[in-house]
Amino acid sequence: MFGNLEAKDAAGRTFELIVQQSAILPKGRRTLRLHPVDYSTGEPRDAPFDPVAPLHVRGKFQFRGGGEVKVDQVIR
């Protein structure tokens, strides 16, 4: 499983959510590594990931064996 998602919080900050292949957690969930990104430089910010709700997440990720998941959801 791999790909990138983009999230924008209520404060107008943009974050990149990196989907990382990892061990399957209980109930079939997988872990996500969350990195705030400065889009003017493309470099990760040093600030912690602390979004202001609601968080709008968009993008897609793919499974190595085939198949793709598209995401466009508001998380409150």
pTM over 0.85: no
Give the position of tokens 């995401």: 71
CA angle 29, 72, 59 (to 5 degrees): 80
Which has the closest alpha carbon to 58: 19, 7, 3?
7
What digits encode the pLDDT tens for the residues 5-27?
A: 888 888 888 877 766 555 555 66
**One-letter amino acid of 69:** V
Question: What single string gives the DSSP state of each residue in 5-32?
Answer: EEEE-TTS-EEEEEE---PPPGGG---E
User: Residue 72 corresponds to which tokens in the numbers above?
Assistant: 């466009």
What digits encode the pLDDT tens for the residues 30-56?
A: 555 555 665 566 666 665 667 788 888
